[in-house]
Structure 1
């Protein structure tokens, strides 16, 4: 049984509903990356292999997103969302029960990522198609910010459960959230709007109308650069903090665990995502987006070389970097939705997510490869080079902005 089409929820209720569902659906999101140091030791993984397992999560996301998100232009997005929650459940429960090394971990991480791919953007579509204008933009900002809350809770709780009861228990906890998310959406979310008869649905996976929309393409490319830096940092954050702890003097050790510090860093994300979106509404999206990208890229190029500093300073610098990375997140997403045709939002978000999370798949792997080539995860220089590898697109943001403004002037 599900809500009738006529059931009405206020914009605030809709936003809170979808934010809660998103947070529940992400309980297993950071289980692997939080427990990476322990799993790497237990399974004897190289940095490249550990990075591959991190990255394959986003490969699953990328594989599922074009099909599942574009499908929401043809069927009720709730049905897609429920399927995705089932995939997340199978992936996290399977990891807890059966993962024992590289290959089995790859399979289950892929499934968990595919589950997120079928819930994050379809969930956003459910929210966006029921709202318009500034209310829509702000709702998108809060929904996007909830990703940070979900990832923070996942890091904190999975880290705590893993430390107390082992990594299998942490993944078992991760399997509970998708069930709660599915129940919320199925029994509370009303049905979506009907497609306009004057704008029939395109063939499934026909993204040509999206690619012809020149208003959305800059946001799509910007999201790719954003995700490359963000998910490279997220995937290796706990491991970097563990390395930082190993460099602290005996009389001044790191007093807080790496997973707890990583969770605290993630809490900055929602605040900066919402604040960045408000700045974009006031001062213009492109100016705000490019400013945050440039600043975060430059910070990334410095961050890896600071591990030997007092841990409090490293933590604060990581907070600054993370906040700068998230400052353009909601602005990119709300800009994409605003620029998309209402009947092509599913396909537009499919392309947006596919391109963005292709970068999210590559960056943890590239980070690990650079770490190995630079001397391994006990080398300060290697960490510096690895962080620089994810900051490169941010450093190039001023060049991208110049081309964007030049193209806009010609149009």
Structure 2
């Protein structure tokens, strides 16, 4: 694909990703007002929030695996319409627990049909460094959309009604659908898998791709545990601080760390291209684990130190996200790229589910959130799980991608430049 066409495709899909993500955090912003309006318990309100991810989990293996068999553009459009219907239904019809569960789960299923299928649209049309850079930008767009979702929902809630906070993302998703219909051409898969839908055995036999997905599991475990507990930890560290000391509030620190992480995703992807993917991810994940452990051990004694370490840990924590995703996709057998992405996404979601729970369990076992040592233990265990990602790369040694580190690392002279080719020159070799 010509460079100009590659850039246009990347811009269109990144813009569409941001637009479809504008409803991602809407319920999180509106949780307390809707809980009180509908007379829900905290558990019921949390159940509505979880319904989004339940819808995603149920839909992602089917919708993403389908991209091996039908045009990914068609799957993306179906996903976008599901997301628009979920948000629009919430805006117009939600009036309590049952309807909110239904429409929020539908919106989550829509994300399953847009996020990874959109990544597939890039991966199928680009190769080498252009593919790696596009994946980094697309992954960063997820963060842009998430942060924008918080701000948009909060602004609309202050200026208008909560129903409009769901209605605007529905309209934005329809706009994204128009962009994809106009600027992304249809392109059915060139190779169709001989196996049945949801048969992941060929994917599991590809150690080069699966290892990157295991690193993604460790990355997601750390990322979602910290996003769930960081504000609570910073509030603990701030207890007893003199008001007006000039340091930002915990929620502002968390937002700042998330914004910095958007830029680090792109920078980490570029480092993988220039220096080698394994080398970059090994260094970044190890630094993230070390900084996270330091945050738990040292941050409880000083709010200023906690803020500083949190703002350093945030971008380190996200910096390898695009690199491990591109590693999994680039080493996938082209016939099973959709199934590979489905497995990759499910492993990432599993890390996101279990990470926050495990963090809280360690916190409770070590004495509770009021004990400084308990936070130290929780962050130390989290760092140990994070290091499982670099350990998997060291032990299994998956391949880098063509063009990474000027082809120095992980590829022999017989390797071609096609995506999904293993170091031995065989597609999807195990």
State the 1:13 CA deviation.
Answer: 0.1
Report what 1:228 is aligned to. Answer: 221
Q: Which has the larger radius of gyration?
A: 2
Kindly indicate whether residue 114 of structure 2 is the aligned counterpart of residue 122 of structure 1: no
Report the more deviating stretch, 348-357 or 117-126.
348-357
1:249-398 aligned at under 5 Å gives the runs 249-252=242-245, 258=251, 260-304=252-296, 306=299, 309-310=302-303, 313-367=305-359, 386-388=378-380, 390-397=382-389
Alignment-derived partner of residue 83 in structure 2: 88
Q: Distance in 2 between matches of 1:236 and 1:108?
A: 27
Structure 2, unaligned runs of 5 or more? 400-409, 411-429
> Which residue, out of 187, 191, 198, partners 1:205?
198
Instruction: Give the drift of 1:243.
Output: 5.8
Distance 1:223 1:395, change over 3 A: closer
Q: Does 2:14 correspond to 1:19?
A: yes
**1:45 to 2:42 alignment:** yes
CA drift of 1:294 comes to 2.1
Q: Distance in 1 between matches of 2:45 and 2:268?
A: 33
Instruction: Find the aligned partners of 1:392 and 1:37 in 2 and give their Cα distance.
Output: 34
User: TM-score, length-normalised on structure 1?
Assistant: 0.82
Tell me how far apart the structure 1 counterparts of residues 316 and 204 of structure 2 sit (CA, whole Å): 29
* Matching residue of 2:422: none
Q: Conserved in 2, the CA contact under 8 Å of 1:58 and 1:113?
A: yes
- Secondary structure of the 1:29 match is coil
1:178 aligns with 2:173: yes
Instruction: Describe the superposition over 1:326-371 as per-residue Cα deviations: whole angstroms up to 9, x where unpaired.
Output: 1111111111121112232111111111221122233344445556
Aligned length: 398
Q: Show the counterpart of 1:3.
A: none
String of CA shifts for 1:358-393, please: whole Å, max 9, x gaps: 222333444455566667767666655555554331
User: 1:82 deviation in Å?
Assistant: 1.7
In the superposition, relative to structure 1, how do residues 184 and 313 fare at CA in structure 2: closer, same or farther (>3 Å)? farther
CA-based RMSD of the aligned residues comes to 3.6
Report how far residue 52 of structure 1 moved.
Answer: 6.0
Gaps of at least 5 residues in structure 1 are: 1-5
Question: Does the 8 Å CA contact 1:295/1:394 hold for their aligned counterparts?
Answer: no
Distance 2:49 2:315 in 1: 22
Deviation per CA, 1:48-82: give whole Å up to 9, x if none.
Answer: x7766555533332221110011011111122112
TM-score (norm 2): 0.79
Does the 8 A contact of 1:161 with 1:170 survive in 2? yes
Matched, 1:98 2:94: yes
Shift of 1:188: 2.1
Per the TM alignment, residue 136 of structure 1 is displaced from its structure 2 partner at its CA by: 1.2
Return closer, same or farther for 1:406/1:154 CA change in 2, 3 Å cut-off. closer
Q: Could you say which residue in structure 1 is the equivalent of 2:58? A: 63
Cα gap change, 1:255 to 1:201, in 2 (>3 Å): same
1:11-64 CA-partner distances (Å, limit 9, x unpaired): 000000000000001001122444557677884426xx7766555533332221
Residue number among 398, 403, 407 corresponding to 2:395 in the alignment: 403
